[in-house]
């Protein structure tokens, strides 16, 4: 986890000014709902042309930040949030397991004590959070200017977009993720994330009900992770959607494989999906027989369902928040690698911390 340092204060001079939020993802929308509850004016914009412009990726597991998340939202949204579960009504019988297994033997190594959790479909929860939200779509930030001394509180922050539009307000919150333009303004010496020496490939696979229920009974219905000791390869499985939601007779799931690169080896993208799958095949030769079905299905997926991620993290930085006028949240502040799925939880913690400062 990256450590970020700022002065931790919100200058009271911004009050009565509009809060500008960059990024209509999970964290930006959560902050917008929190401001709505506090009757604080805000304006939210996003670089995409509309809410369906691109896919919303894989699933999200809300666990240690779940209660904070719900507390930041209006009560009338809670029911819809739970309807975004990957497995309908599973929270009513969930044991809360987080299992780490020996993926070579299939045995459990660590079982984290049960905790309340909610695994949701990303597109479903985002659709819920977008309800009644007036988002300025097609607005990709080009520059941000801060004028702390402006007499008009709504002219202390000015954002200009590629489409020529300009928004002004009293505070700016960047939720743009790792591609954050504002990060470069707040921390010009280290504007880019550091690439980590780990390869990470994943895919969406479909399991028949028989295949899915066999894995759910042996491991967990929602997710589990582990390592193949013979190759030091990390293995991740999680449910993305049930037949009820995806319109098929199968369960759609996420399978991820990752491993550490040898010292001195550059982390360059694979030249092709074929090359990536050849490496995955080699590194999973010691996989337990109960998990081979997942590996084999991954190796048969096409480019549409395959993804290779370049994992990264921010270097330590002290950054200028302009007396609380320029704030970063979510991956813009602390990029999180996709292993236990902590990014959303940390972003929600940012929103809850902000609520306490306002």
Residues 319 and 294 placed together within one structural domain of the fold? no
10: which DSSP letter?
-
Residues 74 and 154 placed together within one structural domain of the fold? yes
Residues 63 and 200 placed together within one structural domain of the fold? no
**How many domains are there within the chain?**
2
Residues 214 and 249 placed together within one structural domain of the fold? yes
Residue 250 sits in a domain of what CATH number?
3.30.9.60
Mean pLDDT over residues 123-151, rounded?
Answer: 91
pLDDT at 289: 96
Q: Which of the four pLDDT bands, split at 50, 70 and 90, describes residue 268? A: very high
Residues 246 and 293 placed together within one structural domain of the fold? yes
**Is residue 214 a part of any domain in this protein?**
yes
- Torsion on CA atoms 83, 88, 92, 94, rounded to nearest 10: -120
Which structural domain, as residue segments, surrounds residue 15? Answer: 4-84+121-193+314-357
pLDDT at 16: 67
Residue 134: which of 70, 56, 41, 57 has the closest Cα? 41
**Is residue 90 a part of any domain in this protein?**
no
> Above 90 in pLDDT, residue 90?
no
| Residue 338 to residue 309: CA distance in whole angstroms | 9
Mean pLDDT over residues 95-123, rounded?
Answer: 88
Q: Which of the four pLDDT bands, split at 50, 70 and 90, describes residue 217? A: very high
pLDDT at 55: 64
Residues 10 and 35 placed together within one structural domain of the fold? yes
Mean pLDDT over residues 323-343, rounded?
Answer: 81
Residue 13 sits in a domain of what CATH number?
3.50.50.60
User: Cβ contacts of residue 314 below 8 Å, gap of 6+?
Assistant: 2, 4, 190, 193, 194, 333, 334, 335
Q: Which of the four pLDDT bands, split at 50, 70 and 90, describes residue 105? A: very high
Mean pLDDT over residues 189-204, rounded?
Answer: 85
**Is residue 266 a part of any domain in this protein?**
yes
- Per-residue pLDDT of 276-289, as tens digits, reads 999 999 999 999 99
pLDDT at 28: 96
> Above 90 in pLDDT, residue 208?
yes
Residues 51 and 164 placed together within one structural domain of the fold? yes
pLDDT at 340: 59
Q: 203 or 184, which is more confident?
A: 203
Residues 64 and 184 placed together within one structural domain of the fold? yes
Q: What percent of the chain is predicted at pLDDT more than 70?
A: 92
């Amino acid at each position: 986890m990256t450590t970020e340092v700022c002065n931790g204060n919100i200058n009271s001079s911004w009050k009565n000014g509009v809060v500008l939020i960059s990024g209509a993802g999970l964290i930006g929308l959560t902050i917008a709902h929190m401001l709505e509850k506090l009757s604080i004016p805000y304006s939210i914009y996003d670089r995409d042309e509309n809410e369906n412009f691109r896919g919303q990726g894989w699933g999200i597991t809300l666990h240690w930040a779940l209660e904070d998340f719900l507390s930041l939202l209006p009560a009338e949204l809670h029911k819809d949030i739970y309807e975004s579960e990957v497995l309908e009504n599973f929270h009513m019988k969930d044991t809360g397991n987080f299992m780490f297994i020996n993926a070579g033997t299939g045995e459990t190594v660590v079982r984290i004590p049960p905790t309340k959790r909610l695994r949701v479909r990303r597109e479903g929860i985002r659709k819920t959070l977008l309800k009644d939200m007036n988002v300025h779509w097609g607005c990709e930030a080009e520059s941000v200017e801060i004028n702390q001394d402006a007499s008009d509180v709504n002219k202390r922050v000015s954002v200009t977009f590629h489409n020529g539009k300009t928004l002004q307000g009293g505070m700016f919150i960047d939720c743009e993720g790792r591609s954050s333009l504002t990060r470069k303004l707040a921390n010009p010496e280290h504007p880019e994330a550091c690439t980590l020496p780990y390869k990470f490939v994943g895919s969406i696979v479909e399991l028949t009900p028989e295949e899915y229920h066999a894995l759910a009974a042996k491991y967990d219905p929602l997710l589990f992770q582990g390592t193949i000791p013979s190759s030091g390869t990390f293995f991740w499985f999680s449910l993305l959607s049930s037949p009820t939601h995806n319109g098929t007779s199968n369960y759609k799931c996420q399978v991820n494989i990752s491993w550490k690169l040898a010292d001195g080896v550059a982390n360059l993208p694979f030249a092709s999906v074929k090359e990536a799958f050849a490496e995955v095949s080699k590194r999973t030769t010691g996989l337990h027989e109960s998990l081979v079905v997942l590996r084999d299905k991954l190796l048969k997926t096409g480019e549409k369902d395959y993804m290779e991620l370049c994992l990264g993290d921010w270097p330590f930085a002290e950054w200028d928040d302009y007396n609380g006028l320029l704030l970063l949240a979510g991956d813009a502040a602390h990029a999180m690698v996709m292993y236990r799925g902590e990014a959303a939880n940390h972003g929600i913690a940012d929103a809850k911390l902000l609520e306490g400062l306002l």
